[in-house]
Amino acid sequence: MHTPAGKVSGYIVLMIVQIVFLVLFWLFVRYEKSAMPSQLVAEDAGSANEHVSKYPQFQDVQVMIFIGFGFLMTFLRKYGYSATGYTLFMSALVVQWSVLMKGFLHMEGGKISLSLESIIDADIAAAVPLISMGALLGRTTPIQLLCMSIFEVALFAANEYLALNVLSICDCGGSITVHAFGAYFGLAVALMLRPASDQNEAGKHEGANYASDIFAMIGTTFLWVYWPSFNSVLAAGSGGERAILNTFLALAAATVTTFVVSALVSHENKLDMVHVQNSTLAGGVAVGTVCNLLLGAHGAVLIGIIAGTVSVLGYRYLTPWLTSKLRLHDTCGVHNLHGMPALISAIASAIYASLVTADDYQSELQDIFPAMVGSNSTASKIMGGLGRNASTQAGYQLFGIALTLLIAIGGGILTGAVLKYTSFRNLQKDEQHQDEQFWEVPALENKEE
Amino acid sequence: MHTPAGKVSGYIVLMIVQIVFLVLFWLFVRYEKSAMPSQLVAEDAGSANEHVSKYPQFQDVQVMIFIGFGFLMTFLRKYGYSATGYTLFMSALVVQWSVLMKGFLHMEGGKISLSLESIIDADIAAAVPLISMGALLGRTTPIQLLCMSIFEVALFAANEYLALNVLSICDCGGSITVHAFGAYFGLAVALMLRPASDQNEAGKHEGANYASDIFAMIGTTFLWVYWPSFNSVLAAGSGGERAILNTFLALAAATVTTFVVSALVSHENKLDMVHVQNSTLAGGVAVGTVCNLLLGAHGAVLIGIIAGTVSVLGYRYLTPWLTSKLRLHDTCGVHNLHGMPALISAIASAIYASLVTADDYQSELQDIFPAMVGSNSTASKIMGGLGRNASTQAGYQLFGIALTLLIAIGGGILTGAVLKYTSFRNLQKDEQHQDEQFWEVPALENKEE
Amino acid sequence: MHTPAGKVSGYIVLMIVQIVFLVLFWLFVRYEKSAMPSQLVAEDAGSANEHVSKYPQFQDVQVMIFIGFGFLMTFLRKYGYSATGYTLFMSALVVQWSVLMKGFLHMEGGKISLSLESIIDADIAAAVPLISMGALLGRTTPIQLLCMSIFEVALFAANEYLALNVLSICDCGGSITVHAFGAYFGLAVALMLRPASDQNEAGKHEGANYASDIFAMIGTTFLWVYWPSFNSVLAAGSGGERAILNTFLALAAATVTTFVVSALVSHENKLDMVHVQNSTLAGGVAVGTVCNLLLGAHGAVLIGIIAGTVSVLGYRYLTPWLTSKLRLHDTCGVHNLHGMPALISAIASAIYASLVTADDYQSELQDIFPAMVGSNSTASKIMGGLGRNASTQAGYQLFGIALTLLIAIGGGILTGAVLKYTSFRNLQKDEQHQDEQFWEVPALENKEE
């Protein structure tokens, strides 16, 4: 039984969190030098401009997070308020938390520097719990989701720090640190929250209608269009242009493949909107970690073809199997859109890393594989020392994904246990996949009108 | 009784207005030098590029005006054609009118200069009557709306000139000159068009349905995402980056606060889509005037928390009171999204202005508070002379909002009187909040299919 | 009678096409120098940045192609999966094909250079079959559409090469090479696929409902907002700013005119969503070819007024006549949005070209009208030699549109014949304008819920 009082205490906790953020911002966060007035008139304009030259890509990422993820999840016919609303709520909380968490890991002089880069990082961090939310969609209360996102983002920041700064792996588009982490964390939570075996059938509201499927295509299409910005926003030098080109081609190839494979494996050879909404994007995930490498157009296209195929087959065969055997309900199929394509990306990164020569990457080796440069580097935290050779770097790439899976799944199981066994309210079967429990919904006569 | 002939004459007047615009463009408007071919090959390319470097932000503002405002107003279940259509119609008329009106106020040699800056200003001007339209949504004919927008934009341009060039107030994101002006002008018109006291109940079509609420979330989300561009597009130097950062954080804090307060004050502690669609954006308005100042992250977050709270409480308690006591129907609640948050922004600007020292802003004082610089400035029109101290500037900020309210409310009452008492047709109660009066709407059997 | 096997073979052919693309990418495509690591650290950063400075405009064009075209075509009430889905499918195929086709026409050393410019061109090429798809919407199988797009894009690339590189016409926004080509090719295919004379009435599903019309407005509005980017993305120097300004003003004037003329000519003087969704955009097409010329604001506005008027009158009077007399069904009315406005643009280009003097365009004459420059140019392929005078260039502009019409209509007739008389399956009358034939559609009870 839930009581309004139960809800109230959850929301009040979230307000306290917001006020704690306010205090932490006041104590620790300061504008970076580029965002402070300078003594010279307009002399620094050049460098200031350069500093915000990533702004258009940041805005593309914003659209992906808020419109893309939000609308992609509106496909459930009675859960559209929650899909778009919780996306906004969760992201607004997480972006603040990410500025603080990632800031604490990179403080200078006891202060956190706030710049455009901080909020780019914050938007990317917001993707992580949104991916996990996809695995749980319709099966949790908003309070559970929001609390999960706070735990998850802290763990994400730590894992990312380990992977990028200690293990020194390449992960330009974040497929390992963002997509694999978010997907397997969410799946682990979903496993913990799995229904009793006599309640394992799909929920009665767990499906799309015609309009909700088209709303979801708004999300899909904006994610598709802006994915090159997501993958390239943190790339440097000519790697930025390669990230754009490779991502674009991988998405195109994954899309063609998705339509074909969807038709071939579906009932009566009809196209399935679930595949079109999701698997078309798998190319963007699968090329993520390696998007700034010298893949060549054919490399990007090949990765796209593999990703589209694996993703559609995952939706068609693996997801139903996981549901029936493990009672693992993955509402949006994030395993097929984020999980497996991210594994493909990690494997691709090991393969391409094993082929790297200093000649290929010239001066950009420092940016892309800093641990493969000689001892004149200053990044002293790198594990395994400097001057790694190509096969060592390949091994580290695999170590990176393994560690990420370990932390994500471990963290997810722990978080799921907290959400299930502590005083959080859990949804009953018939309360799932519908807004009415937590939202004012227009009375039926309006809808019928 | 309306006759087609009545509609016809209104549309013909609007066509004549369009042709008058054509003639005025021909007589007065010329490309600015940056948009003219030069003698040197590519030598000026640098400066030309610099000139259009605001283009991505301009496009963000375009999306806010046409998609953001247009879809935010689709929440009414039978008024979606009007919401999106009149937004397009009104904005297309206003942007031309704004190029001319603002041009006449800044002519050089009898000619108006046309550049990217002109159309950025034009898009911002389009926001003003769109805000007013929100207060009136569903209660006017399109002819009334369009004619109102022509009066209003002329008055807006004059008030903005007074506030920025004569009073020399700071208003980087336009909360005073755009949001407060548009909101209170629209509310004054709404007051003039208020129903008779026996017709004060809500219209029978005045409400959302499930799909219309999700369409409205498209508007909300794009406004949310691109609001940092709106606030920063006219900022200079490092103030541009601060405007982005402060707006982002204020929006995030307002959003978290909106969800919490909405749940706490609503019926059965359920979230209310009206709050989610609107109050989440109040942080963007409330930080507008001060977005390029040295607020610090905590300042921006505090403003966001206050704005979200005030906005939700306004929707929950103040709007129903205004409706029942004053018969002031504010269909979209612009008072809660634009009006009160803009007042918060104006007050914040007085507080922050009172704390300004030349040391803080260094070389940027000239851009942000030109009247506080010594006599070497050339801006001779500034009222109160140059070399203002901080508390004088604070006073001028309050003078600026007071003058804006005076002109907006006075102009709105006058305009409302013209719309009500002259030969404009007024909508009857049962014609309100539905497209059918002015649009071909698909026959019912299609909708039921 | 169709059998699943019939569908299967079509999809398998498309998969083979995708694999052929993979091989061609592997054999022929290489990153351009700007996308390759260089020896020097960050020294080339400036030029690398310059190289990707068109990226924000590319992203705007991406939104136009995938969201704009996709959602504009969702107006049919039972064809929304197809509209958004086939847009994604077709564009994903075409962008790859365009990189290859246009690459083959500009190879250097037997290799195709891949850069941001390639994918900008690819997105523009994707518009061509999407325009044709508008003429055929709901009347073909996806296999027919996709195969058509492969033929069409090859022909488009050849025609564009002839028009721009051999005839050396100006066509900055592509109204001749993209809009006229796509529209008349599609209309020619539609003519070949025309129904028997006893089946000439509209399909029973060929219409909008309330929600589908609002979904379509998403497409319209994004096309409107980003059209300046489409027209200016390939412009150089100050022509880029003129392209933005002229397109913006032409759209605004066309929009006002569309609303007025729609009301004046429609039944009971009610606004018609078909006009609002489409004719408001006609100004963008009509100004396309000349958008970087010295039109002046009044020139752009005049073109917009003409385009809006012609387009609405076309929808109101010409389209029904073509349908009843020629059995030419143009589902989206592309003749009124793309066809006739493109002819207006071509005629305008001849008029403005006839007025060009070297003094007007200074150093930019080389970019805009290369054939009008003296013999020091290196573009030796230009037909008619170098040093053309203004009236000769005007003649070439008309020659360019005539050749385009010839190739488009000829190619369309041929393609239509192939689609009709070879082993492609054709849709029966009652299978048209609905998704169910090729998509899994939610069962009716879900929709009614």
In tens, the pLDDT along C96-144 reads: 999 999 999 999 899 999 999 999 999 999 999 999 999 999 999 999 9
**C-alpha distance from B59 to closest chain C C-alpha (Å):** 7
What was the pLDDT predicted at A443?
78
Domain assignment present for A448: no
Question: Does pLDDT of C448 surpass 70?
Answer: no
A64, A77, A213, best to mutate vs chain C, most C CBs in 10 Å: A213
Query: C244 to chain B: nearest residue by CA?
Result: B116
Residue contact B19–C305, C-beta within 8 A: yes
Distance CA A233, CA C172 (A): 30
- In which residue ranges of chain B is pLDDT below 70? 1-6, 40-52, 375-381, 444-449
Query: Are the C-beta atoms of C100 and C25 separated by less than 8 Å?
Result: yes
Residue contact C88–A255, C-beta within 8 A: yes
**C-alpha distance from B290 to closest chain C C-alpha (Å):** 28
What was the pLDDT predicted at A45?
47
The label of the residue with tokens 């006229």 reads: C180
Closest CA to B305 of A9, A26, A75: A26
Q: Is A201 buried (19+), middle (13-18) or exposed (0-12) by CB count in 10 A?
A: exposed
Distance CA C145, CA A294 (A): 34
Residue contact A96–B253, C-beta within 8 A: yes
- Hey, how many other C-beta atoms are within 10 angstroms of the C-beta on C126? 29
Q: How many beta-carbon pairs below 8 A join chains A and C?
A: 206
Query: C297 to chain B: nearest residue by CA?
Result: B25
Picking from B273, B297, B364, the nearest residue to A114 by CB comes out as B297
Domain assignment present for B121: yes
Residue contact B442–C208, C-beta within 8 A: yes
**C-alpha distance from C97 to closest chain A C-alpha (Å):** 11
* Residue B327 identity: R
Query: Are the C-beta atoms of C316 and C336 separated by less than 8 Å?
Result: no
What was the pLDDT predicted at C447?
46
Q: Which domain holds residue C260?
A: 17-29+54-196+207-421
What is the per-residue pLDDT across C18-39, written as a single tens digit (0 to 9) for each?
999 999 999 999 999 989 998 7
Q: Which residues of A touch C40 (CB under 8 A)?
A: 363
**C-alpha distance from A268 to closest chain C C-alpha (Å):** 6
Domain assignment present for C21: yes
Q: Which residues of A touch C25 (CB under 8 A)?
A: 249, 296-298, 301
**C-alpha distance from B309 to closest chain A C-alpha (Å):** 11
Residue B271: strand pairing partners? A439
Which range is most confident: A379-393, B167-181, C1-15? Answer: B167-181
What was the pLDDT predicted at A49?
55
Domain assignment present for A202: no
A14, A39, A84, A229, best to mutate vs chain B, most B CBs in 10 Å: A84
Lowest mean pLDDT among A310-319, B272-281, C196-205: C196-205
Distance CA A39, CA A375 (A): 38
Distance CA B216, CA B228 (A): 20
Q: Which residues of B touch C77 (CB under 8 A)?
A: 442, 446, 449
Residue contact C447–A56, C-beta within 8 A: no
Distance CA B83, CA B212 (A): 11
Picking from A208, A225, A264, the nearest residue to C66 by CB comes out as A225
Q: For chain B, which chains pass the contact test of at least 3 CB pairs under 8 Å?
A: A, C
| Average pLDDT for A437-446 | 79
Share above pLDDT 90 across residues of chain A, in percent, rounded to a whole number? 83
Residue contact A85–B53, C-beta within 8 A: no
Residue contact C66–A214, C-beta within 8 A: no
Question: Does pLDDT of A39 surpass 90?
Answer: no
Query: Are the C-beta atoms of A199 and A24 separated by less than 8 Å?
Result: no
Q: How many beta-carbon pairs below 8 A join chains A and B?
A: 205
**C-alpha distance from A171 to closest chain C C-alpha (Å):** 18
Domain assignment present for B406: yes
What is the per-residue pLDDT across A64-108, written as a single tens digit (0 to 9) for each?
999 999 999 999 999 999 999 999 999 999 999 999 999 999 998
CATH number at residue B333: 1.10.3430.10
Residue contact A214–C114, C-beta within 8 A: no
What was the pLDDT predicted at B346?
98
Cα–Cα distances in Å, from B154 out to B102, B129, B192?
A: 8, 11, 20
Lowest mean pLDDT among B264-273, B359-368, C65-74, C146-155: B359-368
What was the pLDDT predicted at B374?
74
Domain assignment present for A434: no
Lowest mean pLDDT among A270-274, B70-74, C308-312, C385-389: C385-389
Domain assignment present for B6: no
Distance CA C356, CA B130 (A): 41
* Residue A354 identity: S
For every residue of C217-268, DSSP letters joined together read HHHHHHHHHHHHHHHHTT--TTHHHHHHHHHHHHHHHHHHHHHHHHHHHSGG
Residue contact B366–A41, C-beta within 8 A: yes
Map residue C439 onto helix, strand or coil: strand
What was the pLDDT predicted at C32?
94
What was the pLDDT predicted at B47?
47
What's the structural domain count of chain C? 1
Share above pLDDT 90 across residues of chain C, in percent, rounded to a whole number? 82
Domain assignment present for A439: no
Q: Which pair of tokens denotes residue B174?
A: 């336009």
Picking from B207, B244, B302, the nearest residue to A116 by CB comes out as B244
Query: Are the C-beta atoms of C273 and C213 separated by less than 8 Å?
Result: yes
Q: Which residues of C touch A213 (CB under 8 A)?
A: 80-81, 442
Q: Which pair of tokens denotes residue C275?
A: 């006009």
Q: Which residues of B touch A56 (CB under 8 A)?
A: 56
Question: Does pLDDT of A447 surpass 70?
Answer: no
H-assigned helices in A29-115: 45-51, 55-63, 70-72, 80-105
What is the per-residue pLDDT across B275-324, written as a single tens digit (0 to 9) for each?
999 999 999 999 999 999 999 999 999 999 999 999 999 999 999 999 99
What was the pLDDT predicted at A44?
45
